[in-house]
A and B are shown apart, each in its own frame.
Chain A
Amino acid sequence: MTESRGAQNTYLLIPILLLAILASIAVIRGPSLVSLAGFGSAIIVAAPLILATYALMPIAIAGRGTVDLAVGPLLAFVNVSIVSLNGLGLVTSPLGVFVVAIAIGVIYQILFALMIIVVRVQPIIVALSGFLALSGINRVILPRPGGVAPDWMISWSLGNTIFSPVLLILVLATGGWLLFTLSPFFKHLRMMGYDERAAFTAGVSIDVVRIGAHVIAGIFVSLGAICYTALIASGDPMQGTTMSLTAVTAVVLGGVSLAGGRGTVTGALLGAVNLFLIGYVLTTFQFGTVQGFVTQLLYGLTLIASLLLTMLVPVVGRHISFISPFAAFMVLGIVVAAIVLEVSTAQTYVGAGPNPAVAGDLMHRYLLFPPATDGPSLAISLSPLQKLLFVAAAGIATLVVMMRVVVVEATARRFGAFGHVVVACFLLLLLALVAIYGQPARGGLVP
């Protein structure tokens, strides 16, 4: 069990690394991201993409190379349906909108599943057929972007707080999927995706499992469409294609195998957030008229690069098996958090001191010390909270690394390279301690 989990998680290394790089660039280039409003609106903008990516995940896990290219048009279909029904005054209440949206998504996905199961057509053809039909009907329902979202939805897209209903939907969707992964149904799903024949022979009722996967996908698409409607506060029949392509890129980037059997919600989330950040970073560069084309170019390159990298993962994974995605996430997370702190506090601390040019102030800025009034001094004073925070961060980082080393080295036949590094660090630390406390002026280690 641990083996397969490790194999799954190795694919998360790439999105995690990319996330760290992109988040750093995004924060440095566009500091407004690090504020209540910036973060809140980022969640609202990214939510539809994240949910569309979630929707692709269960059906990709279900195998047979199912990539629902129609996810974007379906999202747009739910979007224009909500807006049109609202315009006609038929369905305006929150409950009604949710029921209608989820019903549309689920019914479409069940039809999709039945086409694969009963008619036994290749999934890609069903997806293609759905793409054409839905893109067509979207523009019949709503010829051009327009319409008004239900009133109660307008306040959702303000983005002046992090804790918007959109975040709630995201958390519920993610939590729901995580709960689902605990069920035997999910094990059947993965088994079917990995080897459908084996699952069938083992007595898994594969038809039910496939329909279940599609129902979950339908729910995710509908939630995504609701978030999208809240975001643009109107209907847009044209967005489908772009959304499909972006979501497929995100799902591939997140390490979900399109061949089936492998995929995690963390990966899908990271993939979607990465794509959002790419878009965000690009908007901070002023490309002028070619802005859209640069985005397009980078999306394409990301898609290819992430596919090629997933091919390399098993090869690389053999050599760097001592790095767990969790450890990488913790370490990179601390680095990014430091950058975020630096950027968000830059205005507060730069120039506050009497002598900002002194190198010591830089330390103060990074580590959130109150600006020194009497020039730089080595005697740094930490508040109790800061002490706690720093010790906790260092402790967690050390613990994660150490645990990882212990786990890996316990099963390894030879002492790995990483072990050498850790031992070397300890030796250096020891030497440093001796050098500092061993000075005669201080009285030596042993008084």
Chain B
Amino acid sequence: MTLMPLPRSTFLLVLNLALALIVGAIGFGVGFVQGELAQNVLLFTVITVAVLFWLANYVAVAFENRRVPAAAKAGDAEADDEAVGFGSIWAANRALIIAMVLLLIAYLIITVTVPMFRTIGNLIAFLVLEAILVFAFKVSGVFVHGRSAFIGLIVLIALIVISAFTIDGFLSAANIKAVLLFAAFLGIACVGQTLVALLGGLDLSIPFVIGTANIGLLYLIGLGVPSWLGFAAVIIIGGLIGFLNGVLSYRLQGQALIVTLGTGFAVAGLVQIVTSIGSQFSGNVFGTVPSWLSNLAAMNGSTFGLSVPPTILLWLLLSIVVVIALRYSAYGRYIYALGGNRRSAMLIGISEFKYWVLAYLISGAFAALTGALLLGWSGGGFIGVGDQYLFTTLAAVVIGGTSLAGGYGGYGFTVIGVLVLQVLSSFLIGIGLKYEWQQFIFGLLILPMVALYSRSPHIRAQV
């Protein structure tokens, strides 16, 4: 990669320049409105434009490099039938135009009917949404690989911009810390789900393992087991549950979803029976969480004096390790090989059973780790603590763009998905929506996100 990357396509170059200039101009205007010193404003504007331009180019080149041959071919084909006029524009951008018009109509209807809706923030949000649509449909078409990650990043940036405008204190240190902390919990739980999805499976036992680890750890501590030993034991037990999942679902890969649901159900029931014996609080476990565990995951935790909960750093470290391992280690490559084409992978001597079981084992262990960390965060055991992770782990993987059919995607994508989900959730809380509405909106948002990049081919194309 060169020091000053420039994308091959002039369109992208112009677009990046325009983007940088627009953001620079906004900063310029805002600076003068706030009454800063003129030279400061100028300096910052120039720096912003330069850095943004460089970053945008860097991103564009990173995604563009791989698609050159395909694009060249497409360009040749397009040159032949280049017709002008409204008809061809409509034909080429039908979906985009329909979507944009629908959004416009929705915005106008709400604006006309609800007086409280008429604010600058909402106007900006509307414009940003329209821009996302344009980006998602036009720009992402240029990329063959990593389209989902690109769209995810755009959505993430747009969400942050909208939230920063509409919610007071969204960019405050406390809020960023909270978003990152919850993202870390979700992200750690998603490690296994990503690996399993890369192999073409699904693990729905994650929420139950989280809940199990949560009350199980507190129960062990209550029994007088040293807390570090309990912590390790819980993770090992989680791994064992994952191992069981893998072995049971190996021959039933089509039904892995149901098998893991069954094991999850059974495990959660079993642990609750064990912890309830000799206790008058059915299902709930009470006890004291050791201070090192609370420090590990609570909002006011600190790492080596920094006031950042260690969980966030743990997640960061874990992300780097997992991304590198998936990309460069034999284990990672074999997972992609198996997910992409099981038969050819087995023919070159990769043991499908081994990797399938290992992926589930990792999934169980990380789910248990999440449960243990959540105990440190909440300070009390509760079996239902993992319930929301049943679908959010899946949603993060899917939104990030890892294919559920296997073989395509990666943990980097999942990290983007996790961040999108958490920022969105924080935004929805910020504008005062209740949990129910959030769930509703999450549900409705998953479909268009997935529809943008992981549509399966028509049956005609498969015959």
Contact = CB atoms under 8 A, between A and B. Distances in A.
B252 A307 contact: yes
Contacts of B455: 119-121
Given A125-B446, A136-B440, A197 B254 contact: no
B259 A293 contact: no
B329 interface: no
A136 B462 contact: no
B252 A311 contact: yes
A137 B456 CA distance: 29
A136 B463 contact: no
A206 interface: yes
A248 interface: yes
A317 B277 CA distance: 42
A299 interface: yes
B270 interface: yes
A130 B443 contact: yes
Interface stretch (B349-357, B358-366, B390-398): B390-398
A67 interface: yes
A67 B459 contact: no
A446 interface: no
Interface in B276-295: 276-277, 280, 282-283
A206 B436 CA distance: 36
Interface string B417-430: 00000000000000
B202 A296 contact: no
A139 B443 CA distance: 14
A290 B398 CA distance: 36
A120 B455 CA distance: 5
A138 B443 CA distance: 13
Contacts of A136: 435-443
B436 A300 contact: no
A129 B438 contact: no
Given A65-B254, A297-B266, A299-B265, A290 B436 contact: no
A304 B447 contact: no
A110 interface: no
A251 B437 CA distance: 31
Given A130-B443, A132-B446, A136-B440, A304 B273 contact: no
Nearest to B267: A300
B269 A300 contact: yes
B258 A67 contact: yes
Interface in A61-85: 65, 67
A208 to B, nearest CB: 13
Contacts, number: 167
B261 interface: yes
Given A67-B258, A121-B447, A258-B255, A293 B272 contact: yes
A129 B404 contact: no
Given A132-B442, A134-B443, A200-B459, A125 B404 contact: yes
Given A122-B456, A124-B202, A258 B436 contact: no
Which has the most chain B C-beta neighbours within 10 Å: A132, A196, A294, A297?
Answer: A132
A128 interface: yes
Interface residues of B, number: 56
Given A133-B440, A136-B437, A137-B440, A125 B266 contact: no
B164 to A, nearest CB: 26
A293 B212 CA distance: 12
Contacts of A140: 434, 436-437, 440
A122 B402 CA distance: 13
A200 B460 CA distance: 8
B436 A139 contact: yes
A196 B459 contact: yes
Nearest to A135: B439
Given A201-B463, A303-B261, A304-B266, A125 B440 contact: no
A132 B273 CA distance: 29
A296 B212 CA distance: 13
B258 A252 contact: yes
Contact of B450 (A65, A125, A131, A196): A125
A121 B450 contact: yes
Interface string B445-456: 011001100111
Contacts of B462: 197
Given A128-B391, A136-B438, A290-B282, A121 B454 contact: yes
Give the interface SS of chain B, mostly helix, strand, loop or mixed. Answer: helix
Contact of A297 (B273, B394, B437, B459): B273
B316 interface: no
Interface string A311-345: 10000000000000000000000000000000000
Among the interface residues A128, A140, A200, A308, which one has the most CB atoms of the partner chain B within 10 A? A128
Contacts of B450: 121-122, 125
B323 interface: no
B252 A129 contact: no
A301 interface: yes
Nearest to A296: B269
Contacts of A157: none
A292 to B, nearest CB: 8
Interface string B374-406: 000000000000000001001100100000110
B73 interface: no
Contacts of A67: 257-258
Nearest to B251: A311
A222 interface: no
A125 B282 contact: no
A297 B395 CA distance: 27
B444 interface: yes
B263 interface: yes
Given A139-B436, A296-B268, A304 B248 contact: yes
B192 interface: no
B94 interface: no
A129 B266 CA distance: 25
A439 interface: no
Nearest to A64: B456
A25 interface: no
A113 B241 CA distance: 35
A10 interface: no
Contact of B265 (A135, A300, A308): A300
A330 to B, nearest CB: 31
Contacts of B261: 245, 248, 300, 303
Contacts of A293: 268-270, 272-273, 276, 282-283
Nearest to B441: A136
Contacts of A129: 443-444, 446-447
Contacts of B394: 128
4 tightest A-B CB contacts, nearest first: A300-B266, A133-B443, A297-B269, A132-B443
Interface of A: 65, 67, 115, 119-122, 124-126, 128-140, 143, 196-197, 200-201, 206, 245, 248-249, 252, 258-259, 289-290, 292-304, 307-308, 311
5 contacts: A119-B447, A135-B436, A136-B438, A290-B272, A303-B265
Given A128-B395, A293-B270, A299-B262, 16 more contacts: A65-B254, A119-B451, A121-B454, A122-B404, A124-B404, A125-B446, A132-B395, A136-B443, A196-B459, A197-B463, A245-B261, A252-B255, A258-B258, A298-B269, A300-B266, A304-B248
Interface of B: 202, 248, 251-252, 254-255, 257-259, 261-270, 272-273, 276-277, 280, 282-283, 391, 394-395, 398, 404-405, 434-444, 446-447, 450-451, 454-460, 462-463
